[in-house]
Amino acid sequence: MTIPTSTSVSNAYSAARDISNLSRNSEQGNTLQDAARDFTKLLYKNEEKIATSLISGADPEILVQAIAETELAIETTVALRNKVVEAYQEILRMPV
């Protein structure tokens, strides 16, 4: 097993941070749509990395890193979805 380098850890962290950090700048347009697009791109990119790594027998570090990035992105998306559902349910409970 290889020990991840600080560069690979830093890259993985910045990729996860970019996905989970919704911009508050209104000039960028619809940030939720952009976040969904970035999430989808990350999933496709990591899917290709995983398939290539499994087929070609490449470095296992790449495989583990791609799986970890994907897992973090999915967990972040699920947490965001749960917050949206929770807010919607709270709105439904408000008296009219």
- Predicted pLDDT at 54: 85
Residue 53 lies in a domain: yes
- Predicted pLDDT at 59: 77
Residue 46 lies in a domain: yes
Residue 66 lies in a domain: yes
Residue 26 lies in a domain: no
What domain range is 77 assigned to?
Answer: 31-96
pLDDT under 50: residue ranges of the chain = 1, 22-26
Give the number of other CB atoms < 10 A from CB of residue 9: 13
- Predicted pLDDT at 78: 92
Q: Which two tokens stand for residue 15?
A: 């990729």
Listed as own residue / partner, the contacts of 33-39 with beta carbons closer than 8 Å and 24 or more positions apart are 39/73, 39/77
Residue 24 lies in a domain: no
- Predicted pLDDT at 18: 61
- Predicted pLDDT at 17: 63
Q: For residues 34 and 15, is the Cβ–Cβ distance under 8 A?
A: no
Total count of domains within the chain? 1
- Predicted pLDDT at 32: 79
